[in-house]
Amino acid sequence: MENKPSIPQITTVIPTYKRPSKLKRAIVSAAQQLGISTKVAVFDNHSLDETEDVVNELQKTYSQIIYHCHPENIGALGNFIHGVGTVDTPFFSILSDDDYLLPDFYRRAIDDLNDHPEAMFWVGLGLHFDESKNIIDARVQRWPKEGIYTPPEAAYCIAGGLLPVWTSIVFRREILDDTGFIDTSMLGVMDYEFLLRISLRYPLILRKHPSAAFFISQDTYSGSQPLSSFWPGWKKMFKKLECYSETSKIHHDNLSRMLRHSGERMLFRRGVNAIVHRRYDFAKDASTALKEDCGKLLTSSMLSAATIICEHSNFAHKIFSFIYRNLEKRLINSRRHLQDDFGHLLDKL
């Protein structure tokens, strides 16, 4: 059994539900963080499978693992909020059960935060990967600099579409007492709004050190979820940005414009992807939202026309899908350097 300092400095919050094999990888990646004392807290949303057995077996090797199983399923969001609410260490991070941490993440983050007490959170490089372990994105690579970001510097990157995954973030515990946690009314963009809000209020530290691997499911972009699961949250975020009091009007106006542009791009991309996957209802809803909520008549008309044509012509759909997949391949190939630079890290666990 490993010898660990008795007082943990950081809690890894791992909500889980019926993913015991992937959960094992996530737990080990947190428990094996060196140079720092950790508490790995697993919150089981009443899986009733071998999840508890997997955790019990790992506890024989890693004494810092704690396990809580809810007596009933309280929903994914309820489990997530409950887990974060139990944090009692100076720092914490959030780890989904199908993601995992990369070596030396916590040590670097906490050393930096100890050296810069004004910074309330630390952002590392998150590697977005798919089922085939292809690295398809690493947004933090496109941030303009490393080091300290003072408000509202980081907010411009976030509003502009370079949202870091919070799997690669270490937060100070006191941030929860000061500003609260996620706004659940934001639905699918709760993380986006939370990170935007705190980046407007606090300095952060950013390093382009590979810190976490973030799994991208095909369902994320295939339009398998209705627009109502995330677009109302975007609209609320647009309005809420106007209420933030930490920055001047000129920054509010600039950030609002950038955030709206990011939302419009996202809507159009997901609408196009939905056409490829024959989710025409989603594409129609996206077209309507672009017109009615964003005032984007041209992009709305383009998406609407493509939807109608592909819905009524298999040949047109084949041509549309062929063009889309070739553009997708070109985009992935343009990021081939990410695979060359970091692909070996995905085989560590």
pLDDT the model gives residue 133: 87
pLDDT the model gives residue 222: 46
Q: Which of 202, 219, 236 is the last residue of a domain?
A: 219
Please write the tens of the pLDDT for every residue from 46-87: 999 999 999 999 999 999 999 999 999 999 999 999 999 999
Whose CA is closest to 166, among 197, 135, 134, 130?
197
Please write the tens of the pLDDT for every residue from 293-341: 999 999 999 999 999 999 999 999 999 999 999 999 998 889 899 999 9
pLDDT the model gives residue 347: 66
| Token pair belonging to 96 | 């989904």
Q: Which domain does 301 fall in, by range?
A: 222-340
Please write the tens of the pLDDT for every residue from 218-245: 655 544 688 999 999 999 999 998 888 7
Whose CA is closest to 161, among 303, 273, 265?
265
CA distance 155 to 133: 30
User: Which whole number is the average pLDDT over 233-262?
Assistant: 90
CATH code (residue 127): 3.90.550.10
**Residue 349 placed within a domain:** no
- 120 and 233 in a single domain? The answer is no
Q: Which of 219, 247, 265 is the last residue of a domain?
A: 219
- 270 and 192 in a single domain? The answer is no
pLDDT at 5 over 70: no
Confidence of residue 249 (pLDDT cuts 50, 70, 90): confident
**Residue 228 placed within a domain:** yes
pLDDT the model gives residue 244: 81
pLDDT at 151 over 50: yes
| Token pair belonging to 321 | 């899908």
Whose CA is closest to 214, among 134, 132, 126?
126
- 191 and 280 in a single domain? The answer is no
pLDDT at 129 over 70: yes
For the chain, the domain total comes to 2
Burial class (CB in 10 A: 0-12, 13-18, 19+), 41: buried
Alpha-carbon 45 to chain mean position: 20
Q: How does strand 91-94 pair with strand 10-16?
A: parallel
- 189 and 234 in a single domain? The answer is no
User: Which whole number is the average pLDDT over 122-142?
Assistant: 94
**Residue 25 placed within a domain:** yes
* High-pLDDT (> 90) share of the chain, %: 86
Mean pLDDT of the chain: 94
